């Protein structure tokens, strides 16, 4: 999350909107974003509706056995089509901003 914040101008210059989704309630999400200095859009999904829709539910994976989202990064085009996904089983393994930008560049290539 912080690494994407550090590269936010690189995403904005390519018209890529960075959006995070949290299973925390809106107030917790707001506090966490402030604490981490995140300025991009963060959605609160405490009912896990979007998290389930993208098949990201990690049952009992959070503190105290709370259901949370598996870490994932998506590139979704303006029509809502998922064009690239990085999905892992470990909360410590995430795509870097460079990986996401490289995937975006590959999608912009003719024939992609």
The reply to whether 38 falls in a domain is: yes
Q: What range defines the domain where residue 81 resides?
A: 2-107
Tens-place pLDDT, residues 56-107: 998 998 889 999 888 899 999 989 899 999 987 776 788 899 999 999 999 9
CB atoms under 10 Å from CB of 61, counted, come to 15
Render pLDDT for 8-62 as a digit per residue (tens, 0 to 9): 999 999 999 999 999 999 999 999 999 999 999 999 999 999 999 999 998 998 8
CA dihedral 12, 87, 38, 53 (to 10 degrees): 90
Number of domains within the chain:
1
79 assigned to some structural domain: yes
Tell whether 45 is covered by a domain: yes
DSSP 8-state class, residue 17: P
Structural domain includes residue 18: yes
Q: 47 in a domain, yes or no?
A: yes
Q: Are strands 57-58 and 41-44 parallel, antiparallel or unpaired?
A: unpaired
Look up the CATH number of the domain holding residue 34. 3.40.30.10
Q: Which two tokens stand for residue 106?
A: 């590959």
Query: Which helix (DSSP H) or strand (DSSP E) does residue 58 occupy?
Result: strand 57-58
Predicted model pTM: 0.82
Residue 58 belongs to a domain: yes
């Amino acid at each position: 999350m912080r690494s994407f914040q550090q590269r936010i101008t690189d995403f904005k210059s390519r018209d890529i909107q960075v959006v995070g989704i949290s299973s925390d309630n809106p107030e917790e999400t707001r506090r966490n974003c402030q604490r981490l200095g995140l300025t991009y859009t963060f959605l609160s999904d405490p009912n896990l509706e979007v998290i389930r829709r993208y098949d990201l539910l990690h049952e009992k994976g959070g503190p105290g056995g709370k259901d949370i989202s598996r870490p994932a990064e998506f590139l979704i085009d303006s029509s809502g089509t998922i064009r690239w996904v990085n999905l892992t089983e470990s909360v410590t393994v995430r795509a870097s901003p460079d990986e996401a930008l490289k995937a975006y560049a590959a999608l912009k290539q003719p024939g992609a």
